[in-house]
Structures are given as structure tokens and as C-alpha cells.
Amino acid sequence: MIRKKTPSFAICVENSDYPVSLELHKIYRVLPDKDVALDGDLRIIDESGEDYIYPADYFVLIDLPSDAERVLRSSFMVQPQAA
């Protein structure tokens, strides 16, 4: 049996209720969470750097080529340096 992987990234297409936490058209990392998915939500790492639950219809899930996904995953791990 071939198991399709769950997309790990999504593009924000709606942020009217969360303008500080989500930027339109930005790619966000999605964390797998079957419980929140049952309620029609996604667990997203937002602008705070923490994961929160948002309505799934605020995002479009995207499948990326493995090279692009690897680069994005590693870039999300890098913490910005304090000025």
C-alpha cells in the first residue's frame, strides 16, 4: 500500500481574523495533527514562531519537490540573530 504524505507547507490565503499572526501569500509550515484536522483546522507555525490552530480554509496546502521541501525545512530551523 502506498501512503500519500501529508503536505508540510501551506500558503496563507486569508488572514482577516489574524492579521498580526498570519501574512497573506506567505508559506507556513504545517504540523501534523489529526485531532485538529477533524475539526477542519490546521496546526501552523505562525509569525510568533509558535504553533497555533487556524481554520484550514485560510490556507492552500502545497506539495513541494523534495529538494525545495528540504531547503525550506532547514531554513525554518534557523533562528534570526538579535540585532
pTM of structure: 0.79
> Residue 28: enclosing H or E segment and its boundaries?
strand 27-31
d(CA 61, CA 4): 14
- Domains defined along the chain, listed by start: 9-69 (2.30.30)
pLDDT, one tens digit per residue, over 36-57 is 999 999 999 999 999 999 999 9
pLDDT in tens, 28-40: 999 999 999 999 9
| 1: amino acid identity, one letter | M
